[in-house]
Amino acid sequence: MLQYFVASIILLFIILVDTEFITWKTFRKKRKELPGIRTILDIIKWKVPLYWGLPNYIILGRGEEYFGPVFQYKIGNSCTVAVNDIQVARKVMSSPDCRDRLPEGHVLYERSFNKPLGILFGNGKNWAVSRDFAVKTLSNLGFGQGTAVEHCIATEMEDILQKIEAIVQQECTFQPHGFFHVPTLNVLWNLIAGSRFSHNDQKLTELLKYFYKWNRSFNLGATALHAFPWLRHIPKLTEHDAWVNGHLKFSAFFKNIMEERITKNNYLDDPNDFIDYYLREMKWQNDSNNNEYFTEEQFLTVCTDLFMAGADTTRTENLPSLVYKTRMPYTEATTAEILRHACVIPVTGRCPVRDMEINECSITKGSIIGINIHGIHFSQHIWSDPKVFRPERFLSAEGRIINQEKTLPFGYGKRKCLGETTSRNTFFLFFTAMLQRYSFQLSPQHPKPSLEDVCGLSRAPKPYYVTVQKRSN
Ligand SMILES: *[C@@H]1O[C@H](CO)[C@@H](O)[C@H](O)[C@H]1NC(C)=O
Ligand SMILES: CC(=O)N[C@H]1CO[C@H](CO)[C@@H](O)[C@@H]1O
């Protein structure tokens, strides 16, 4: 508590000084500007220093109340444009000028050797080459629609059903928290490394632990560090050390795999999985003496990205076959409603590579455009009753799926989640298989789950209890 209080005071002080001496001048120079912080009064109204530690989407949402759905604020070195509007979000996300993720020199690039590498946060040609390679290779391996991936999902599903069955035989009440991490990661991990993790794999447990610590840095911590790099010297404040450590662990883990594969030397003649294909490409590029994009650093970052995407983004999915998916509109509508309420990535970033305009106002190159997906999903203008859980909002009178284009659970445009199809399929299969056999209720002996979440890069529910029973028919 005290730590937040001190942080808030420091931040308030810095913002005041900074806004007066730097921002004030820059804002004045230009002709048409987005609404945003202009005077001390705006900062006081928005109360931003009090939000230290709160998820970004809440901060951006509160800003909307004062400045409207699209606004801009400048703190220290960083200029952020907040977007809480679906049309503007789609425009930004599909604009070729906004392909980049974060400006150069952003503190988050410490995770990728201070370069904009990888798929999640990569920029420019580095990102385009890595993403194309990953999409092509993973889809050749069966990711997306392939039966290979359906088979992996079924294997993991059986594991989950066995675990649930064991619970039903005993106390019937359990904490679903973490229940789906390993199975969903395994669906992807099979294609990446050709193996699956067991539920109590030591190495995995350790990596996940680091990964979860890392999550927080995506809130004001990362924003503040980018704005005021010297804050990193107060480690407890920003948890800078935790995620630098996390990054080192991940790099070491994948470097180890890389060395094993190179020693084994199967990857050239008999590539089996994503890692093999990557190393083969790296070798070819090495041999051409012009290896710009398939470097070791790029490899380590891409692998870390895929691991994180697999570990985090799907938390919940004859097991029912995918064939039935389009014939079950109510289930699809329910999925859409779940993804609207509980979108996993609440805020996503884009970075303009040249000056551009939003709402006829100029945005400078290198700004961070924060798209508040959660805010859009809960917008009063789009959904008249956003807080109500109502799958019917996604169904027409004839039972067709509608309104899905008003949500962005997997992003939009060239940078949208490359695992969207697999995530949706995994979700559908896990969800239907569980509900076919079991019914789930809130545990009467435990407090109601909190609607507050644990949020960083992604959102997760706080731990809660559920009672499970076998269905009779
Ligand atoms: C490619 O070259 C780099 C730098 O010389 C080296 O570290 C790496 O192991 C090589 N990779 C392969 C697969 O040959
Ligand atoms: C999902 C997850 O692991 N969240 C963690 C994010 O960071 C906070 C604070 O460090 C942890 O308490 C959460 O468990």
Tell whether the model's pLDDT for residue 1 goes beyond 60. no
Q: What is the pLDDT averaged over residues 151-164?
A: 86
Cα of 212 to ligand 2 centre, how many Å?
Answer: 5
Nearest to 157 by CA among 355, 430, 469: 430
Residue nearest to atom 1 of ligand 1 (CA): 286
Residue nearest to atom 11 of ligand 1 (CA): 283
Chain mean pLDDT for the chain:
83
Q: Helix or strand or coil: residue 57?
A: helix
Cα of 272 to ligand 1 centre, how many Å?
Answer: 19
Contact between 363 and 355 under an 8 Å Cβ cutoff? The reply is yes
283 in contact with ligand 1, CB cutoff 6 A: yes
Task: Tell me what pLDDT residue 421 has.
Answer: 85
Cα of 291 to ligand 2 centre, how many Å?
Answer: 38
- The ligand minimizing its distance to the Cα of 285 is 1
Cα of 287 to ligand 1 centre, how many Å?
Answer: 9
Cα of 115 to ligand 2 centre, how many Å?
Answer: 26
Share of the chain above pLDDT 70, in %: 84
Task: Tell me what pLDDT residue 21 has.
Answer: 47
Helix (H), strand (E), coil (C) string for 331-397:
HHHHHHHHHHHCCCCCEEEEECCCCEEECCEEECCCCEEEEEHHHHHCCCCCCCCCCCCCHHHHECC
Residue nearest to atom 2 of ligand 2 (CA): 212
Cα of 215 to ligand 2 centre, how many Å?
Answer: 6
- The ligand minimizing its distance to the Cα of 311 is 2
Confidence of residue 150 (pLDDT cuts 50, 70, 90): confident
Q: What is the DSSP letter of 174?
A: E
- The ligand minimizing its distance to the Cα of 456 is 2
Tell whether the model's pLDDT for residue 151 goes beyond 70. yes
Q: Write out the H or E segment, with its range, that includes residue 170.
A: none
- Angle subtended at Cα 257 by Cα 252 and Cα 261, rounded to the nearest 5 degrees: 145
Using the CB atoms, write b or e for 93-110: b if 16+ within 10 Å.
bebebbbbbbbeebbbbe
Q: For 84-230, where are the E strands, in sequence order?
A: 173-174
Cα of 384 to ligand 2 centre, how many Å?
Answer: 32
Task: Tell me what pLDDT residue 199 has.
Answer: 74
Residue nearest to atom 9 of ligand 1 (CA): 296
- The ligand minimizing its distance to the Cα of 277 is 1
Contact between 242 and 249 under an 8 Å Cβ cutoff? The reply is no
Share of the chain above pLDDT 90, in %: 35
Cα of 285 to ligand 1 centre, how many Å?
Answer: 9
Task: Tell me what pLDDT residue 246 has.
Answer: 81
Confidence of residue 230 (pLDDT cuts 50, 70, 90): confident
Cα of 183 to ligand 2 centre, how many Å?
Answer: 20
282 in contact with ligand 1, CB cutoff 6 A: yes
Q: What is the pLDDT averaged over residues 336-340?
A: 94
Cα separation, 308 vs 71, whole angstroms:
30
Pocket of ligand 2 (CB under 6 A): 212-213, 215-216, 454, 456, 460
Tell whether the model's pLDDT for residue 143 goes beyond 60. yes
Task: Tell me what pLDDT residue 15 has.
Answer: 61
Cα of 262 to ligand 1 centre, how many Å?
Answer: 9
Best residue for ligand 1 mutational test, from 286, 288, 295, 297 (most atoms within 8 Å of Cβ): 286
DSSP 250-309: HHHHHHHHHHHHHHHT-TTTS--SHHHHHHHHHHHHHHTT--SSS-HHHHHHHHHHHHHH
- The ligand minimizing its distance to the Cα of 215 is 2
Confidence of residue 20 (pLDDT cuts 50, 70, 90): very low
286 in contact with ligand 1, CB cutoff 6 A: yes
Residue nearest to atom 14 of ligand 2 (CA): 212
Tell whether the model's pLDDT for residue 385 goes beyond 90. yes
Which stretch of 66-75, 223-232, 421-430 has the lowest confidence by average pLDDT?
A: 223-232
Report pLDDT digits (tens) over 162-202.
888 988 888 888 888 777 878 888 888 888 888 888 877 88
Task: Tell me what pLDDT residue 322 has.
Answer: 67
Residue nearest to atom 6 of ligand 1 (CA): 296
- The ligand minimizing its distance to the Cα of 212 is 2
Tell whether the model's pLDDT for residue 345 goes beyond 50. yes
Tell whether the model's pLDDT for residue 17 goes beyond 70. no
Atom of ligand 2 nearest to the CA of 456: 6
Task: Tell me what pLDDT residue 124 has.
Answer: 93
Write down the pTM of the prediction: 0.78
Domain architecture of the chain: domains with CATH: 69-470 (1.10.630.10)
Confidence of residue 314 (pLDDT cuts 50, 70, 90): very low
Using the CB atoms, write b or e for 208-231: b if 16+ within 10 Å.
bebbbbbbbbbbbbbbbbbbbeeb
